[in-house]
Chain A
Amino acid sequence: MYTQALNTSDGEDRNVEDAARSQQFQARIDAEERIEPNDWMPAAYRKTLTRQISQHAHSEVVGMLPEGNWITRAPTLRRKVALLAKVQDECGHGLYLYAAAETLGSSREELVDAMLAGKAKYSSIFNYPTLTWADIGTIGWLVDGAAIMNQIPLCRCSYGPYARAMIRVCKEESFHQRQGYEIMLTLCRGSEEQKAMAQDALNRWWWPVLMMFGPPDATSQHSDTSTKWKIKRFSNDELRQKFVDATVPQAQFLGLTIPDPGMTQDAGGHWRYSDIDWTEFKQVLAGNGPCNRERMAARRKAHEEGAWVREAAAAYAEKRKTRQLAQAAE
């Protein structure tokens, strides 16, 4: 994905705003043209996308932790291979997204370091624990379901490399949601205890999942320019409503109760949910969720313990290069 290595106009005007160019840029966006890495773009567009895509990549990588927690304890071999494949996909998604973010001019190392230093965020949903096997079903069904709602419009995002990465991600993501729902269905058709376990998981995940769509439209700080630049095609509240409308019948089919006694269906068929507790969202975002510290510690440990592998691979590549040069000179 044509990265910074191909940026021909390094330095020149890259971060300088230029009214005429900005206008031309907006005209291209309005005409639904895709912006590619070497095209001129406003510095703020570059910055917004770097932030959004790298946070998305960090989320995929951190997202491996809560589910990885259950790989060794999956109830059957069938569930185990499926979960393993799913976690492997999340890693792949992280890598597609890092590559897309790098096309904007930051190096992989810079992006990863920002995350490990706690300067870059990841989706707060991954700061909740996976206490039972039903949590794995619920994550696939609801967390991946919500992610798909968010990601499908991103396949038409104005920035080419991001849109292309999202197309790949969305294709693979639908298996994730289906395997999750199948786990829930099996539990709900099982014993009373299994059904209670499924209900308990839904009770714990429902509200955090609704928060995944971000703050309400009235308070969201990034929405206006992102909409103008066609990075964002639907507002947070629109996507949240779409998700709720799609999910309620799925929960009814399972025979589970959504933990929102105030929920009603309006005349238009939309399910109206109660007010969301945004103080919880802010707390988790600020680092005070149930697993924030654990997740960061796990990522830092993995990075530090992998350092010798990166160093050895670099040293080996260097040695081989030197040897080849010496042979060529003989």
Chain B
Amino acid sequence: MATPNTTLWEVFIRSRNGLAHKHCGSLHAADATMALQAARDIYTRRGEGLSIWVVPSNAITASDPSEKGMMFEPAESKIYRHPTFYDVPEEVGHM
């Protein structure tokens, strides 16, 4: 068939007020309106969401897994960024 492959969209859903939109899957649709409608039918059949974002998949830039070390390792060695690194005497109480 001559019809080109239907555009792929990533779906993000906010489950309750106050929570961030979270990636929940993907779907195919010809345009944004149809993508939103399909997302509602596919991903919120049981009241899973109060808000939906759809984003064309090719608009996402992803980090390269082979550069995982370079990207994330520097954070691992910096234990002084965590509260447990610091000693506070018990007498001081909760801090």
B46 proximity list for chain A (CB < 8 A): 172
B26 adjacent to A1 (CB under 8 Å): yes
A95 adjacent to B60 (CB under 8 Å): no
A88 at the interface (CB under 8 A from B): yes
Near B by CB (< 8 A), chain A positions 20-64 give: 36, 38-40
A326 at the interface (CB under 8 A from B): no
Contact flag A107-B5 (CB < 8 Å), given A2-B62, A5-B58, A317-B30: yes
Contact flag A38-B28 (CB < 8 Å), given A5-B57, A109-B5: no
- Which stretch, A179-187, A214-222, A291-299, A307-315, touches the partner chain B? A307-315
B62 adjacent to A108 (CB under 8 Å): no
Partner of B64, one of A38, A168, A313: A38
Q: In the assembly, what is the distance between CA of A220 and CA of B58, in Å?
A: 40
A5 proximity list for chain B (CB < 8 A): 8, 57-58, 60
A285 to chain B, nearest CB (A): 29
Q: In the assembly, what is the distance between CA of A92 and CA of B64, in Å?
A: 30
Q: In the assembly, what is the distance between CA of A137 and CA of B7, in Å?
A: 38
The interface size bin for chain A is 20 to 34
B69 to chain A, nearest CB (A): 13
A96 proximity list for chain B (CB < 8 A): 25, 42
Top 6 closest pairs, chain A to chain B, by CB? A313-B30, A317-B31, A317-B30, A5-B57, A5-B58, A1-B26
Known: A88-B45, A95-B27, A172-B45. 4 other contacts (CB 8 A): A89-B45, A92-B41, A102-B8, A314-B3
Residues of A at the B interface (CB closer than 8 Å) are 1-3, 5-6, 8-9, 36, 38-40, 85, 88-89, 92, 95-96, 99, 102, 107-109, 165, 168, 172, 307, 310-311, 313-314, 316-317, 320
Chosen A-B contacts, 24 in total, with CB atoms closer than 8 Å, are A1-B26, A2-B10, A3-B26, A5-B8, A5-B57, A8-B62, A9-B64, A38-B64, A92-B45, A99-B25, A102-B26, A108-B5, A108-B28, A109-B6, A168-B25, A172-B46, A310-B6, A313-B31, A313-B34, A314-B6, A317-B7, A317-B30, A317-B31, A320-B31
Residues of B at the A interface (CB closer than 8 Å) are 1, 3-8, 10, 25-31, 34, 41-42, 45-46, 57-58, 60, 62, 64-66
